[in-house]
Chains A and B, each alone.
Chain A
Amino acid sequence: MKELITSLANRYGVRDWKDLKAGQAACFVDSGRLRDCLRWLRDEAGYAHLSFATAIDQLERGVFTLTYALRNHERGHSLLVHSEIDRTRPVVDSIHRLWAQAWTYQREMKEWYGIDFPGSPRVDEEFVLEGWQGPPMMRRDFDSLAYSDATYAERPGRASSDPAEHMKRELYPEEQA
């Protein structure tokens, strides 16, 4: 494992290696070197299985964190490779040639977060939504409840209370004070 960390750091400037638990670690790489790093991990380090790829919206810092989860089946080790991109100009290299299912994840990220992957197949098509006109809905500044209230008719008579308030009142009355 030590060798892997040093060669990743030397080759691709991978930093912030962190062991999350037995058999799982996380590390960070610059978005420009992400694709090369993933290719090296796949071909040379045995991390041949892509579990998933996803994004996290860090609204406060103005970045998207990308996460690619790889697994080395021989060694029984998973690696979460993180990378950060600017929230206002979200473009990353596509990895659809490295893994044949990666384009689906990229299509999802494009639709849900607005992150672009130039060259990825069908990346500009709609994925799960149809006729969506709002902003990418997984961004944290998109309010699902407000959209739902404005768009979909509600049945009269439904009282909605804030669940936290309701639980406080009904289940934990002693905490009222």
Chain B
Amino acid sequence: MSRAKAPYIAPAERAAPDLDSGKYLVMWQGPNHPGITGNMSLRLVIEGDSVVDCETHVGYLHRGFEKLMERRLWMQNFPLVCRIAVPEPDFNEYCYAAALEELAGIEVPDKAVWLRTLSLEMIRLASFLMWIGGQAGAFGHGTIAQWSVTMRDYVLDLFEELTGGRIYHMYIIPGGVRGDVPAGFLRRVLETMDTVRKNLDDIELVMFHNVVYKMRAQGLGYIPPDWVDQYGITGPNARAAGLPRDLRKDLGYLAYPRLSFEPIVGTVSDAFERSRLRLLEMYQSIDLIRQIVDMLPARGAFRAKLPNPLHWKIPAGETYVAAECTRGEYGFYVVSDGGDKPRRVAVRGPSYTHGVALMERLARGVNIADVAGLMVSLHTYPPEIER
């Protein structure tokens, strides 16, 4: 019977296979493996060609951000935070900046709010475009990556014009943003959005109507709705299970309350539904970017006045700022003891739950050829697991 009709629920308890029996094979997938996202590894115990047990091993990218941030001034951390999650640095910048503004009581100008929203939506689109190439590639569909990564590059070109950097933008600083939009930029944004949208239609046609992709992705990595709270699942993985949880709506941060959009909700959270949902979210992002371009105020300050960063002491306090990134709830928990350096900055990345605990459970019983596709369908990103 097809997996799509009766989704397979992975067992809750870890199997304890007798490795000396000769029935099982221990295989490492990663860190040096093309089917792994980023740089982490899975220790798979295999019987025949199906996975009996999966153990995640992370830490290959550990740089000790949280320790380094305690050693640096508040403002010095700002170029550091964006490097925590490489494909979408802006969420780090926003969460850090917003946490500082809350603690220090800084008011952000309205134009900066809009520009921040624009940059967050653009990076969301870029990150999804990169992801869809990986998802198709994991199921042997190389063409999609050729298209979508190029589309992502066009979005990165916009970033380069706006911020000066392709990958790390360092655009959203405490108090506002680093610069105003260049002349003619908004027109080019709209043009690029048209190009991307047209390409998304092609991707939809080629990828989602492809019978191989359908057969391999449907029923793979099924997440029942009651796992969502149990595992702390957020973002498209949770929305695909039917829960309308979108922090853009729930928290109403930045300019999102003034934009018109509804969380996109799926029915059965398997790899196919999740990828379909993310495709729809790309369309939604394009729509949001168009709305933002329409409503962006033409004039006004884009940055509040900040105190001298050398002597900038932030009053003692704590706050947790979360934002909806492409993978789910991304948050910064910042504690200040009243000094010129943070007491503690803890980063909450959605991959932390999706890529470790959930992945270990979902991988049980999966065919080894599908492990890479399963991992990509959760949209995990190792650097934010280990920081």
Contact with A along B201-236 (1 / 0, CB 8 A): 000000000000000000000000001011110100
What chain B residues lie within 8 Å of A130 (beta carbons)?
59
Bound CA span A87–B102, Å = 30
CA distance A31 to B319 in the complex (A): 21
Q: Quick check: is A7 within 8 A (CB to CB) of the other chain?
A: no
A48-69 CB contact bits vs B (8 Å, 1 = yes)? 1111101011000000000101
Chain A residues closer than 8 Å to B32, beta-carbon distance: none
**Pairwise interchain contact A56-B62, C-beta atoms closer than 8 A:** no
Contacting residues of chain B (20-76) with chain A, CB-CB under 8 angstroms: 58-59, 62, 64, 66-68, 70-73, 76
The answer to whether B308 and A172 have CB atoms under 8 Å apart is: yes
Q: Is the CB of B346 within 8 A of A52?
A: yes
Residues in B with CB closer than 8 Å to A54 are 333, 344, 346
Q: Which residues of B84-113 are within 8 A (CB) of A?
A: 102
> What total of A-B pairs shows CB separation below 8 Å?
105
Q: Tell whether, in the assembled complex, residue A51 and residue B320 are in contact, meaning their CB atoms are under 8 Å apart.
A: yes
**Contact call A168/B62, Cβ cutoff below 8 A:** no
Min CB distance, A103 to chain B, in Å? 7
The answer to whether A20 and B319 have CB atoms under 8 Å apart is yes
Give the number of residues in B that approach A within 8 Å (Cβ atoms): 46
Q: In the complex, are the beta carbons of B73 and A101 less than 8 A apart?
A: no
Q: What are the residues of chain B within 8 A of A6 when measuring CB–CB?
A: none
Known: A23-B251, A99-B232, A103-B357. A51 touches B344 (CB 8 A): no
Distance in angstroms between the alpha carbons of A137 and B386 in the assembled complex? 14
**B236-278, CB < 8 A from A:** 243, 245, 250-251
Number of residues on chain A facing chain B (CB within 8 A): 42
- Given A20-B320, A54-B333, A127-B58, 15 more pairs with CB closer than 8 A: A21-B102, A21-B319, A51-B331, A52-B331, A52-B346, A56-B343, A69-B320, A73-B245, A78-B322, A80-B318, A101-B352, A101-B356, A104-B352, A129-B62, A144-B64
A42→B278 CA distance, assembly (Å) = 30
- Does any Cβ of B come within 8 Å of A26's Cβ? yes
Task: Check B282 for interface membership: any CB of A closer than 8 A.
Answer: no
| A167 in complex: contacting residue of B310, B320, B322, B333, CB < 8 Å | B310
Cα-based distance from A33 to B149 in the complex (angstroms): 51
- Given A24-B319, A49-B232, A73-B245, residue A167 in contact with residue B309 (CB < 8 A): yes
Q: Is the CB of B320 within 8 A of A100?
A: no
Q: Which residues of A are interface residues toward B (Cβ below 8 A)? A: 20-21, 23-24, 26, 48-52, 54, 56-57, 67, 69, 73, 76, 78, 80, 99-101, 103-105, 126-130, 137-138, 140, 142, 144-145, 163-164, 167-168, 172, 175
Selected from B71, B229, B318, the residue in CB contact (under 8 A) with A49 is: B229
B91: min CB distance to chain A, Å: 15
A128 to B349: give the CA distance in the assembly, Å.
Answer: 15
Smallest CB separation, B359 vs chain A (Å): 10
Q: Is B348's CB within 8 Å of the partner chain A?
A: yes
Q: Is the CB of A99 within 8 A of B230?
A: yes
Q: Answer yes or no: B118 CB below 8 A from chain A CBs.
A: no
Knowing A128-B59, A138-B66, A167-B310 are in contact, say whether A100-B76 is a contact too (CB < 8 A): no
Chain B: minimal CB distance from A122 (Å): 8
B284 contacts A by Cβ under 8 Å: no
B130 at interface by CB-CB < 8 Å: no
Q: Show 6 residue pairs from A and B whose CB-CB distance is below 8 angstroms, ordered by the A residue.
A: A51-B331, A73-B250, A129-B62, A137-B64, A163-B76, A172-B308
